[in-house]
Chain A
Amino acid sequence: NAGVMQNPRHLVRRRGQEARLRCSPVKGHSHVYWYRQLPEEGLKFMVYLQKENIIDESGMPKERFSAEFPKEGPSILRIQQVVRGDSAAYFCASSLTLRTEATDTQYFGPGTRLTVL
């Protein structure tokens, strides 16, 4: 009966390295969302995925950032050549479907806190 799981919970990278953030949605959920929360700011939408498809990536920077949700395994948010401005908390959420308001409620994971040195 696990909720959304994210790992690692904390990630430290040096400038120029790659960061890989993983998200396992609630069992049975096929919709995954990634949000970023900068210090003293609200949650900002980044990308919305279904299995093997990117539905909406309009909130994700076009360079260095990519996301996937393969048929098997967790969703991955990948940040290449990280810079200090990428330091933030990254949250993953999942929902069952978009059919009704009840089934598309998004449930959030505990987040991954990325620190870029």
Chain B
Amino acid sequence: SQKIEQNSEALNIQEGKTATLTCNYTNYSPAYLQWYRQDPGRGPVFLLLIRENEKEKRKERLKVTFDTTLKQSLFHITASQPADSATYLCALKGDRGSTLGRLYFGRGTQLTVWP
């Protein structure tokens, strides 16, 4: 069965540094991969999508890489700010038949950026 692992449950970094979050998956060939942000008591908010044939994608201070050989995605937040503190979720898109609509989520990494 598919398995998605995010590097650690919690990551604490100082303001201004770059946060790097990892998402690894096995037994899966996703069409693409997405990153979401979730704040306590709220629903996930879509951040970025990267396709299987893309190596890297950027959006403002966010950068995502996708290595289908290593079955890994890295999510970077540069010049991090306390407002970036949240749980970040990796999600893979189903690629077979009727599973095409569903997303498979990792458990998330809780990021805390301290001043």
The 8 Å CB contact of B106, one of A42, A56, A102, is: A42
Q: A10: shortest Cβ distance to chain B, in Å?
A: 10
Residues of A near B36 (CB, < 8 A) are 108
- CB-defined contacts of A105 to chain B, threshold 8 Å: 34, 46, 49
Asked if A117 is at the interface (CB within 8 A of a chain B CB), the reply is no
Question: Does B89 touch A at the CB level, under 8 Å?
Answer: yes
In angstroms, Cα B46 to Cα A37, docked, is 17
A-B Cβ contacts below 8 A, count: 65
How many residues on B have C-beta within 8 angstroms of the other chain's C-beta atoms? 26
Tell whether, in the assembled complex, residue A56 and residue B102 are in contact, meaning their CB atoms are under 8 Å apart.
Answer: yes
Looking across the interface, which residue of chain B has its beta carbon closest to that of A4?
A: B43
Inter-chain contact A108/B107, CB cutoff 8 Å = no
Q: Which residue of B43, B98, B105 contacts A56 across the interface (Cβ within 8 Å)?
A: B98
| Residue among B4, B32, B105 having the largest count of chain A Cβ atoms under 10 Å | B105
A56, A101, A111: the one contacting B101 at CB < 8 Å is A56
Asked if A107 and B46 sit within 8 Å, CB to CB, the answer is yes
For residues 30 through 49 of chain B, which have their beta carbon under 8 Å from a beta carbon of chain A?
Answer: 31-32, 34, 36, 41-46, 49
Interface string of A28-48 (1 = CB under 8 A from B): 000101010000011111001
Which residues of B from 82 to 111 have beta carbons under 8 Å from A? 89, 91, 98-108
In the bound complex, what is the Cα–Cα distance between A84 and B46 (angstroms)?
31
| B76 interface contact, C-beta 8 A | no
Known: A101-B49, A106-B46. Is A48-B102 also a contact (CB below 8 A)? Answer: yes
Q: Is B63 in the interface zone, CB < 8 Å from A?
A: no
Write out the residue numbers on chain B whose beta carbons fall within 8 Å of the beta carbon of A4: 43
Report B's interface with A, CB cutoff 8 A: 4, 31-32, 34, 36, 41-46, 49, 51, 89, 91, 98-108
A to B CB contacts below 8 Å, 8 in the list: A4-B43, A58-B99, A93-B43, A98-B100, A102-B49, A104-B101, A108-B43, A110-B41
